[in-house]
Structure 1
């Protein structure tokens, strides 16, 4: 055993006891050797722990305790040896983690901690300073640089990053899909509410009302002159009955292009009949323009079903009936009910319908000339239809109306922007 009395050699500077058969522990009295510069106890059979007070040997620059049976942890107090240049603790049974403050020893040039039972991550500064793997080799639970062994903490950190890298886009995609589903559900829900709640009753669709082709509805012999219908045959006399002689009670709207009446026929079919101002244009010009309007068909435009021209200066245009009124009425009802009737999905759908209708007219070089809420009509499914287009030649006036007239107040209320109209125009059907 190493005698404790060596601690009384106050002037001792070098103590070399390597390669003997020394056993037992390192005496704590050695820490009294304040002038000791080199302590070499390697290749013996020493046991126990490294004394915590070893830092009192303030002049120590070389500590060699390799190839023994030392156990316990590496003392953190070793970092208090300012002159330490060589530290060899290899081939022992030391355990625990490597103290991070070993990297704070400024003059440390040689380090060997191999062949122990150390664990945990090698301090980064120490690993970058001594980047030779042999310095930390043969420690089964040791990880980090410069060893080619990844720590569990680092693996978990990388796994979390990978989960975030994959999980965030997936969660965003799912959230986007849910938002789209919610938008579609809201749109369907509010459309049903508008159809069933606002109108008070479910009205008959104009498409089904006027879908029959070539059905006989009277003749010229018993009903007077015929209306020229593109799909049906209706007499002028039947139209007079359906509108009650164009009674004021059947007026749907009034405008610069005449008065629109609701025509309810005996078999249940309902149409809209526009009566142009008397003496507007000649019969031949009227027929020509009406035939050309028949060719303008789009899902967001009112469809011309027929016309009538006869004495004395009677000019009629027959359209599908729009049972759910116009946008002006809908905006008024929405304002009275705090906007609950006309929600944002419905506003967006109406805006797109208007934009698609305008885009189609522009593709045919047609200018609407009088775009306003009263001229945006709704069918039974609350799809928007533009009306009163292509009527300038049928109703000549003193002032030219070749410009497209926008009304900022209702456009603002509906929240139609130029960009939304342009986008819709690019996607027109």
Structure 2
């Protein structure tokens, strides 16, 4: 019986099926640019799907996996090669001698699920392309030479189940990686410091071993976060109150016995000396008795010097006090690292009475004590607005400069927007985003009205309360405390173009940062994540404002907005209006940007609400308030 001709045709078609020429060329380019051992032989006359280490889909029309473990690959991974395999799902190049950074164009591999690059010589910062791979489920970069901090943006990988970063040179604090899907995690034998976040303390101690400055969670508890100064007499008296009653009674009895014995000894010595003097100086004639000895205060010591020393070690409260603790209470508090920023490290401190505050340990402070105290007192006086986090106290010594603020358990806007987007998360809806935008604008306008430049405005410095209208700005006005070379400025992505050149923050650079913050609320994208636009010779990496402008220019405005916002009907007009406000704030020319108070009125006109009026917020704009521009000119 003759074979079925249709079956023969199908088999013939399957036999000649071949991935696109671009994928074949990409693989050959990768192999030709990467030195390797001779056992890898790809015959250019054979089908791509039959090459060693190459796997195609069942129809043999596209490459889905590349596995070349222990193949003697040497040197950097060439750019513009593997990134041209759009259907690649598995990449295994482990146990080779690959070096250098991971190419940034790996972000094009959006279907990539499993990446195995362990046991190589790869180096540089944590690959910025990794957080841009939305389908990634398993990532192994262990036993390489990667350095720098682990990015918080790993929270974008909502399908990630295994993360292996052990035996690198990663440093800084561990970000709060809060992924419900994560079941395997290892960052052992790096140079990480601070406390283990609560979102990761479910993993065993072996996952964090070898990081000498890491503490908390499954590791030993964190030590006090700053050294204790020399205690004052008052502090010593207070610390003794912590002894048990029996110990106090014992010490008192012993002290009493010692005093009695000492007095008895002195009395015996005095009697003995008097008798000797009488025998030695016995007069031959009667003389009048000597005049009585003068009486008065003898041996009293001035304590003015002690007072001066006490001042050095004193916690100084500013504004409305509201708290009842001192430096010794802070020294005994349990501490947890909240994060490290450009001005220093922030700790959550829980006092013995349950009071919780944030202690910011400043670094590289150049201001003298009088200048420091004067400026901090000024900051404390202006922080009387609902949208500004109040400064409660400060401490200044030669070795330590501390600021004490309220602890807001709701966290930061950055964590809310860019945290885990897995199941169980409540999305941040449009109304709450608009209210937070208004709160940030009002806080900045209040600071500017008091003559204070924020200088470091970003989503992680917008702290939330239960009421979104009460969101508060933190870390403001600290630039004058530092030298010009180390002055903290807005983080990359929030920094106005002129600040990079002049190294000086201004009211207008603050407005630029506020505009980026508004874009972050609208797009759901982190400003410090580079975005690739264009293609071919016109491909390039741009910041968030330039990316938004490029999309709007192509009349794809809807593509700008966060997908989580598209589920709310009837808010498109307000979103576009706020987008126009944001773009006016991020103009490249400072003089083209509105003032902070004007931005607030523009937002009010767009979203149609002024929030709660506490008497300190700028007035709501009326019919004469400026309207957002029709087109932005960045």
Asked if TM exceeds 0.5, the reply is no
Higher-Rg structure is: 1
Instruction: Quickly name the TM-score band, shorter chain normalised.
Output: 0.3 to 0.5
Q: TM-score, normalised by structure 1?
A: 0.44
TM-score relative to the length of structure 2: 0.30
Q: Which has the higher contact order (CA 8 A, sep 6+)?
A: 1
